[in-house]
Amino acid sequence: MSISIMFTVYGTPTPKGRPRFSTRGKFPVAYTPEKTKAYEFEVGMMALAAMGGTKPLEGALEAFIYITYAVPESYSKKRLEACLNGLEKHTKRPDLDNVIKSVIDGMDKIVFDNDSQITSIHATKVYGEVAKAEVMVRQA
């Protein structure tokens, strides 16, 4: 019997930001940008609710991540329809792999103990009416 966890994070999916650096005294310190931290926290809260208090999944896992970006308001009606019907793909930034990294890092220690447990990722980036990230993780 394989266990699966599903949840949705509403709002614009945020890519993993590059680490920032500052100095503390004479030592350089790396930190995660605030926008990335906030999005990973939101993913974690939705994952925690989906887990319902159960322990993190064990063994090999598969992740299915469906990223939806809202169609820009500046698009014409014709272009809006093309986006919503899948005729125009979301080929702009952010890169899909960076968004996946944010989602997976947000689930760490909640859905699984370590992201090395994920042996397969299926991800899609599309246009839609509502910006969101839909996630399913299941035992492989």
With helix as H, strand as E and coil as C, how does 86-121 read?
CCCCCCCCCCHHHHHHHHHHHHECCCECCHHHEEEE
CATH numbers and ranges of domains, the chain: 4-139 (3.30.1330.70)
Q: What is the reported pLDDT for 10?
A: 98
Count of alpha carbons within 13 angstroms of residue 51, beta-carbon side: 18
Residues 92-129: pLDDT tens digits?
A: 999 999 999 999 999 999 999 999 999 999 999 999 99
Q: What is the reported pLDDT for 61?
A: 98
Q: What is the reported pLDDT for 125?
A: 98
Phi and psi dihedrals of 118, rounded to 5? -80, 115
Q: What is the reported pLDDT for 128?
A: 97
Q: What is the reported pLDDT for 80?
A: 96
Stretches where the chain sits below pLDDT 50 are none
Q: What is the reported pLDDT for 26?
A: 86
- Record the pTM: 0.91
User: For residues 49 and 53, what is the distance between their CA atoms, to the nearest angstrom?
Assistant: 8
Cβ 120 vs Cβ 140: under 8 Å: yes
